[in-house]
Chains A and B, each alone.
Chain A
C-alpha cells in the first residue's frame, strides 16, 4: 500500500458553471436520482433549521406577493368594465382613478414582496452553502487517513464546490418559488372558477392538455440525456488518454488509430447531443403553445359568451391574465421535481461525507508529554490495513535511545512507510505497543504525539503563498530572524535573497523551484517546527544524488541531537545510522550498523552491492 502515489482525478462530473439567472430550462442534464429523496430532504431541512425565520418569512412573502398579483387582474377587469360602460356616453374617470391607484399600490407592493422574498432566500442559500463547505473541510480533518485511500480527492473536491453549489441553487430558486407557484396556481384556478365556471373549465382543460404534452417531451428527452452523458464520458476518457499519452502516441505513430476512435465517439456524441438538445429545446415551444392554447380558448369561449351577452367583456380581459398566472406555475412544476431531485442528490453526497466515521474523540485523555527526551519503542507491533487479508507488519519490535538515528530500509512494499503512519498515529495499531519516553502513544492525544515530531516526506508539499508563509506554516510567533536562520541552515538563504521579492516571493505557477529547493523549504519548515524528534520518509528519493549532497547537509543540521527515524531506499543516505533495520514483507530480517550488516553478508549486503554491479 503506497501512500506516496497521490493522484487527483480531474473531476469528470460535469462542472457547475456559474450562470447569471440561468439554470432554468435550456441547459439540461440528466437528473441525478438521490438514493433516498425523503430522508435527504428531511436532513437538508434539519440542517437549515437555523435559518428557519428568514425561510418562513420569504415563503410567506412569496405567497403574499402571489395573492396580490391575483387581485390585480380583477381590478384591471373593473377598469375595462368602467370603460366599456362609458363607451356609450362618458367614462367615469373618478372610478378609474381609484382603481388605477389601487392597482399601482398592489403591483408595487407585490414587486417589493417578491424582491424581499428573493433577498432573504439568497441569504439563506448562501449561509447554508457556506456552512456546508466549512463542515466538509472540517470533516476532512476528522476522517481517518485511510479514508483517502478509498475515495479520490477529485470526489471530495467536487463535493466542496459542485455539490454545495447544486444545493445552494436549488434553495435559491426552488424552495420559495414553490410557495408562490402553488398560491398562484390554486389562486388563479379559484378566481377563474368564481368568475365563470364554464370558461374556467375550458381554459384549464385546454392548458392541461398542453401541459400533458410538455411532460411527455420531458420524459422522452431524459433517455437521450442519459446517452449523451455516456458519450460525453467516453469522449472525455478518450481525449484524456490521448492527450496524456501524447508523446507515446506521437513516438509510435498512433495518431491514426487515435483519430479513428475519436471520430467514432465524436459521431455518436453528435447524434446523441443533437437528439437531447432538440428534445430539451422542445420545452419552450410546448410552453408557448400551452400559453397560446389557453389564450385561444379564452378568446373563443369568452367571445362566444360575450357575444351572447352572458358575460361582460371585462371577464375576457381578466381571464387572459388569469390563464397566464395559471399556466406559468405549471411550467415551474414541470421542473420543480427535477430541481428538488438534483438538490437531494447533491446534498446526499455532502451529507454522506459529513457522516463518515471519524477518528476517535480524545477529549477525555489527560496524559501529556512534555520535554521529551526522545526514547522510542515499538513492542510486538502488528498491523494490517483495512480490507487487507494479510498483516503488513508482523511482530515488529525496535527501540531507539534518545538522540539515536534509526534507519529502515527494504524493498517497496516492505512496510517502511507504514511504520511512520503508525508512529504518527495516522493509523491505529491493534496489537502491540508504541511508546515515547515509556508512555503508550495511544494514551496521548494525536495532537500531543504529533507535536513531538518534525517530518519531512518524499513529496514536497508546498502551497500557493509566499516562501515565508510556506516555511512558517501554522506556527505562531515566528520571527523573521528564525526564518532566515532556518534557511541559512538548510543552505537556501542565499538563493532566496537573489529572488526579486526575497522571502515574499510567491510560490506558484510562475516560480520554478527545483525539486531540491522545494525539499530544502520543507526541511526549513521542519526546523521552524523544532520538535524533539524527527522522521524522514524518503526525503531525498525524488532528487538526484548530487543535489542530495546539499540536502544531506541540511538534514544533518536537522538531525543534530534529535531521535530520528530515517526511511530510504537509497542506501548511501543511511550508511551512518546508529541502527539499520532491514525490512522485508513486514518482518525485520536484519538489524545492526552498516558495518555489522555488511559483515553479515545477507540481504542488506546484497542490496548494497547490487547498486554497483554492472550488466555484464
Chain B
C-alpha cells in the first residue's frame, strides 16, 4: 500500500501535507471544547463569577465548535481531492502501461483482471486514501493529545487508570487482529470458490442436466457454501467483541475517573478541590475521545489488508516493464532485393515456460507472395503470425520486414504496414464506419468509395446496404448486434480499407462457411495486387493455392512447399490433408 504512494503527484502530496497540518488544528479545537466546559464548571463552583462570564465562555465554546466544523470540512474536501487526483493518476499510469504491453503481458494478467485493476481496485485506493487523511491522521493525534491532557494533570492515579485502559484497548485490538483478520482474509478465497463452482455449473448446464448431475453439483456447492458460512460466522463473532468491549473500557474509565477523583478531592485542599472537580468532569470527555480514536484506527486497520491487495495489484501492472521497446526506424527505402518478410532462426519461449513454443523457424516471403501456415492446434502457427507485427518478441533469432529487424522499427511505423485480422473478430462500439475506418488509416483518404471497396471485398457490402443507416449503423459494445460471420467480414473489411503492404490473416476464415470463404478469397486476390499475404488456416482448402505453405509441427517447421510438393513429401501435411479430403479428391 505505502509503496503505491510514490505514484502520487507532488501537488497532491503538498495538499495532503496541508490537510494534515489542518488536522492538528482540528484536534486542537476538538479538545478545546471540553476545556471550556471545565472553565464553566469552575465558574459555577467559584464565588464571585458572573453569569456574563458563563455566557462569554459559552460563546467561545460555540465558536470553537464552528471553527472545528469549518476545518473539518476543508480537510474533507482536501482529502477527497487528493483521493480523486491520486486515483486519476493511477488510472492513467495503468492505461499507459497496458497500452504498451505485448500480448504476452496481456495474457499473463488476463484482460478481465486488468479491467478490475483499472477500475475497482483504483476506487478502493481512492476511498482509502481520503479516509487515511480524514480519519487515520487525526486518530492518534487525538488519542495522544487527550492522554497527555489527562496525565499532565499530574495526578498519578488518573494516569495509571488511563494506562490500564489503553492497555486493554491494545489487547482487544491484538485479539481481533490475531484471530479475526486471517478469517476475513479467507473470505475472498471462499467467495471465489462459490463463484467458480456456480460459474462452472452455469457454463455446463447442458452437461449437468444430461448427466442428471444436479444433486452432485448441489452437494459440491453446499460444501463450499458451508465453508464460507462457517468462516464468516467465526470471523464476525470475533470481530464483534470490539464494540461492546471498547464501550466497556470507555465506561469503566469514566467510573474510574470519578472514583479516583472523589478520593483526590477528599485529600486535597479547598482551592485544589474545585480544580480537581472540574478536571474530573472533562476527563470523562477525553476518555471518550481516546476510545473513539482507537475504534476508528481499528476500523481503518481492518480495511487495510483488502486495500493492500488492490494496491499490490495496481503496482504489479504499473511496474511491469513491457518486453517490447520502440526502435528508431520510421521508414526504409524500398529495396528490391530484401524479402517482404523474413524469419532467421527464430525461437520463442515464454518467460517461465520450459519448452519452446517455436523453435528455429526460418523462411522468407517475397513481395506479393502468399504464404500460409498450417498445423495442429497448439503447433504455434498463430504465435508465429503474431511475431510479424511484433505482438510477441522473439526470444532468439530475427524477424525482418523489408530487410530490417522489427525491433529497429518504431512500433507505429512497423504496424502501419499491416492489415491484421485476428482469429476472433473484434468490433469496437460506435458505428460500422468507425470500425472499418479504424486507427491511423495509413494516411490515406477516407471516402464512401474506399469504404464501399473494402466492404465489397470483404463480402459485407450487400449486407450493409440492407441496413437503413448504412455505414452509420450502430455497433454495440463487443459487436453483439452482429453475427459471428458478419463480425469476421467486417474485421476483414477493416484490414482491406487500410490498404496495407502485408495482410495478416490469423485463422480468419474458419468462422465463414465454405462458400463465403471462397468468394472472399477470390475478390481478395484480385484486390490485393502487390500485397504480401500471410494466412494461418486449419482448412487445406483455404490455403492450397498459396505460393508457399509451411507446415508447423510442435513449434518447428515440418515441411515447406506448395500444396503439390507437400502432398508428395510431407507426412504431417498428408495426414492433415487426408483427415479433410479423401485420396481421390486430393489427386484430382
Contacts and interface: CB of A to CB of B under 8 A. Distances in A.
Contacts of A262: 92, 95
Contact of B80 (A87, A281, A300, A450): A281
Interface in B258-289: 258-259, 261-263, 265-266, 273-274, 277, 280-281, 284-285, 288
A193 interface: no
Interface string A133-144: 110011011000
Contact of A141 (B200, B208, B302): B208
Contact of A474 (B212, B228, B389, B544): B212
Nearest to B288: A324
B84 to A, nearest CB: 4
B115 interface: yes
B191 A107 contact: no
Interface residues of B, number: 181
B312 interface: no
A104 B252 contact: yes
Contact of A284 (B76, B197, B201, B215): B76
B30 to A, nearest CB: 8
B470 interface: no
A474 B198 contact: no
Interface string A319-332: 01000100000000
A457 B207 contact: yes
B101 interface: yes
A370 interface: no
B223 to A, nearest CB: 11
B210 A90 contact: no
A156 B239 contact: no
Interface string A288-316: 11001101100110111011100001001
A484 interface: no
Interface string B207-231: 1111111111110011001101100
B33 A296 contact: yes
Given A137-B201, A547-B377, A80 B210 contact: no
B461 interface: no
Contacts of A257: 439
Interface stretch (A181-189, A243-251, A345-353): A243-251
Contacts of B72: 284-285, 288-289
B332 to A, nearest CB: 18
Nearest to A127: B229
B289 to A, nearest CB: 11
A252 B420 contact: yes
Interface in B108-164: 111-112, 114-116, 118-120, 123-124, 126-127, 130-131, 134-135
Contact of A247 (B103, B195, B216): B103
A572 B578 CA distance: 10
B240 interface: yes
A246 B106 contact: yes
Given A281-B79, A514-B378, A248 B134 contact: no
B81 A118 contact: no
B416 interface: yes
Nearest to A143: B205
Contact of A91 (B88, B216, B248, B266): B266
A40 interface: no
Nearest to A269: B88
Contacts of A172: 236
Contact of B302 (A22, A119, A463): A22
A545 B92 contact: no
A355 interface: no
Interface stretch (B57-65, B340-348, B358-366, B450-458): B57-65
A108 B248 CA distance: 7
- Would you call the interface of chain A mostly helix, strand, loop, or mixed? helix
Contacts of B51: 304, 307-308
B426 A244 contact: yes
A156 B211 contact: no
Interface stretch (B1-9, B40-48, B396-404): B40-48
A572 B580 contact: yes
B315 interface: no
Contact of A236 (B119, B212, B232, B438): B119
B376 interface: yes
A240 B116 CA distance: 9
B130 A546 contact: no
A303 B236 contact: no
Contacts of B123: 14, 232, 273
A115 B248 CA distance: 11
A76 B582 CA distance: 99
B65 A289 contact: yes
Interface in B66-94: 66, 68-69, 72-73, 76-77, 79-81, 83-85, 87-88, 91-92
A8 B199 contact: yes
Given A79-B258, A239-B95, A610-B515, A20 B420 contact: no
A300 B55 contact: yes
Contacts of B258: 76, 79-80, 83, 96, 100
Interface string B150-193: 00000000000000000000000000000011001001100100
A369 to B, nearest CB: 13
A50 interface: no
B80 A278 contact: yes
Nearest to B81: A274
A22 B303 contact: yes
What class of interface size applies to chain A in its complex with B?
35 or more
A514 B358 CA distance: 16
A243 to B, nearest CB: 5
Interface in A546-589: 546-549, 572
Interface in A436-455: 446-447, 450-451, 453, 455
Interface string B367-390: 000000001111000000010010
Given A17-B306, A76-B254, A453-B210, A281 B44 contact: no
Given A76-B258, A246-B101, A3 B127 contact: no
Nearest to A606: B515
Contacts of A296: 33, 58, 61-62, 65
A505 B123 CA distance: 38
Contact of B579 (A300, A461, A474, A545): A545
Interface string B307-350: 00000000000000000000000000000000000000000000
B25 interface: no
Centre residue among A145, A236, A292 by max chain B CB count within 10 A = A292
Nearest to A93: B262
Contacts of B210: 424, 450, 453, 455
A307 B44 contact: yes
Given A299-B40, A514-B378, A137 B184 contact: no
Contacts of B184: 18-20
A381 interface: no
Contacts of B494: 248, 252
B211 A140 contact: no
A457 B545 contact: no
A172 B116 CA distance: 28
B179 to A, nearest CB: 12
A118 B247 CA distance: 14
Question: 3 closest Cβ contacts across the A-B interface?
Answer: A252-B439, A20-B302, A300-B58
Given A140-B201, A320-B285, 19 more contacts: A20-B235, A20-B303, A21-B302, A83-B262, A83-B280, A160-B198, A247-B103, A247-B422, A248-B494, A257-B439, A267-B88, A278-B80, A296-B65, A313-B45, A446-B209, A455-B210, A473-B216, A572-B582, A615-B545
